[in-house]
Structure formats: C-alpha cells, structure tokens
Amino acid sequence: MKAAIIFTGTGPILILTSYDSLINPDLVEKLKAKGIVKYIATELPLESVQLRYGSHFTIVMNDLKQTDDLRVLDYNGHNILGTFSFQEMGRPVYYEP
C-alpha cells in the first residue's frame, strides 16, 4: 500500500493506492477518469499518514477493496501541505501523456 500526494492542475490530493508505481498505467487510467491527466506525484511514509489522519485513515483504508485500488484520503490542498513537510516527501514522479 502506498500513500502519495498527487499535484494536479487544481491542487494537491492525498491518495492511498495498492498500485506498485505512481505511474502504473492502470493508476494513470483511474486518475484520468477523475479528470487528472497530467500530474506530479510523491510518496509519503504510510505510517506518517496513518498517524496524522488517525481514524479517518482507518475508515478510508478499510473501504479499500481489491477491485477499488485508489482512494482519496484528502482533497484539501491547504490541509495536505500544512500537514506534511517537503522533507517527508519522496522523490517526485512526473507524468504527462
């Protein structure tokens, strides 16, 4: 399981996903279905996300099924960037079609 910030044209979102890569073609298609076709993504330590989001993380994680391998944990960019420092973020991955 991965936690990642996806920087989109409308702002950052925090996701949980079971895909192995943030540019996995299936993940790219799921994001495209949500209107996200070009993005910068960076992983976060799953434990840090779990600690900071507490019960909300647990609720979202328990709702993550094998057939539904992408969940948005937070879509408030101000909250996301206020919660995590740049030092916690992994190396950015760039995707554009």
What would the pLDDT profile of 38-52 be if each residue is shown by its tens digit? 999 999 999 999 999
CB 42 within 8 A of CB 92: yes
pLDDT-based confidence at residue 69 (cuts at 50, 70, 90): confident
CA atoms within 13 A on the CB side of 21: 9
Based on the structure, what is the number of domains in the chain? 1
pLDDT-derived band at 62 (thresholds 50, 70, 90) equals confident
Domain with 80, as residue range(s), is 2-95
Amino acid at 31: L
33 and 68 in contact (C-beta within 8 Å)? no
Q: How far, CA to CA in Å, does 26 sit from each of 23, 30, 42, 50?
A: 8, 6, 17, 25
Band (61; pLDDT cuts 50, 70, 90): confident
The SS3 of residue 32 is helix
Rounded to two decimals, the pTM is 0.91
For the beta carbon of residue 38, count every other beta carbon within 10 angstroms.
13
Residue 23, pLDDT above cutoff 80 = yes
Q: Distance of CA 73 to CAs 6, 79, 96, 97, Å? A: 11, 11, 23, 25
